[in-house]
Amino acid sequence: MMKSNNDFIRHAIDVKGNLQSVPNYIEYGEKSLDHLTNYFSIKTIQTIKSANKVLEPHCHTLLYQLVWVTDGSYSVTIDDKIHHLQKNCFLLLYPNTVHATSFEDNPKGYSVHFSIDFFEVHEKGTYLSNVIKRSTPKRFLIVKIDETTSYEINVIFNGMEKVNSGGSFLSDELIRTYLNLSLLKMYEFYGLLDKNTLFTSSQTIVNRFIQAVDANFINKRSVSEYAKILNLSEGHLNNIIKKETGKPAGYHIRERILHEAQRLLIYTDSSISEISYTLNFSNPSYFFRLFKSLTGTTPKKFRKNHLKEKTIST
């Protein structure tokens, strides 16, 4: 069980941004497979706690994880930041998000894992399908629900668990209905279902751009390269990204590189030179200058300060 940030130990990261030595589980301790289809599972938080399931840093490459807390609290550590989940809180984790969980005040609730194809049997191409696949820089959502609505959500999850254990030939259809309802309620409170935030063609381009950057930032650094991938002119892409996000396209590319650099500095023992080459810089000095210009500090000081904070917290 994790007690502090210090327990969120370092792990090696490959050049595509995937954590190589962080355990990759289907759920809790079960080694992941190369391929999962039509996958759904629901467990109570109490069951997970009593079974001493694996809660150290891990990820689910092929699955989304949805948590609903009905009572008590526990913390989830994501990219070395601790988030405390209280009663009536949702947590949605995207695939490949490294996280670790620590139980605090006798939490109760539910933890759901599902593959995107299970969810998309009838929802593919719908608004909700587009929303759940929409890339966010954080790769997770935490949403607090009011007391009145939480009663409705408790009914939804109780129904989901009951149907899952019943074995009816309509179980999958009923579970998808419950899952859709829970996600719709979560996104409604998060603000993504407001009529003013419905997907436009511009927002779709932003989503595709973020996904392209996430997949190619190691080898592609220029806006023109991403414009080519998206079959747009560089000027048009930059205008759309700036209008929708408030920042130019180049900013998001640099931020993705920075985020990966910080993860490497935190979770690996690689030297700064090794990290610069891992991130495809031809010279460590170029990496040094970019890092300092974006953060105001050097990679060495960033790592040192981070280790100091971890020491103080223990």
pLDDT digits (tens, 9 = 90+) for 59-73: 787 789 999 999 998
Alpha-carbon distance 8 to 56, whole Å?
Answer: 8
Which one has a higher pLDDT value, 8 or 280? 280
pLDDT confidence bin for 42, thresholds 50/70/90: very high
pLDDT at 52 over 70: no
Query: Residue 82: phi, psi to the nearest 5?
Result: -90, 130
pLDDT of residue 3: 39
The pLDDT tens digits of the residues spanning 84-138 come to: 999 999 999 988 788 888 877 789 999 999 987 787 655 554 556 666 766 555 6
Please state, rounded to an integer, the average pLDDT across all residues of the chain: 80
pLDDT of residue 304: 86
Alpha-carbon distance 284 to 265, whole Å?
Answer: 14
* SS3 at position 143: strand
- pLDDT > 90: percent of the chain: 38
| Mean pLDDT computed over 36-52 | 84
* Percent composition of the chain: helix, strand, coil (DSSP 3-state, to 5): 50, 15, 35
Contact predicate 93/139, CB 8 Å: yes
Give how far Cα 77 sits from Cα of 4, 19, 173, 254, 305, Å: 9, 15, 33, 24, 19
Secondary structure element (H or E) that encloses residue 100, with its range: strand 99-103
The pLDDT tens digits of the residues spanning 144-170 come to: 999 999 999 999 999 999 999 887 777
Contact predicate 272/300, CB 8 Å: yes
pLDDT of residue 112: 95
Domain 5-197, classified CATH 3.40.50.1220, yes or no = no
The reply to whether domains 5-197 and 206-313 share a CATH topology is no
pLDDT at 207 over 70: yes
Question: pTM, whole model, 2 decimals?
Answer: 0.62
> Which of 27, 179, 186, 44 has the alpha carbon at shortest distance from 110?
44
The pLDDT tens digits of the residues spanning 217-228 come to: 999 999 999 999
In CATH terms, the superfamily for domain 206-313 is Homeodomain-like (1.10.10.60)
The pLDDT tens digits of the residues spanning 232-262 come to: 999 999 999 998 888 899 999 998 899 889 8
Query: Residue 59: phi, psi to the nearest 5?
Result: -145, 165
Domain parsing of the chain, residue ranges: 5-197, 206-313
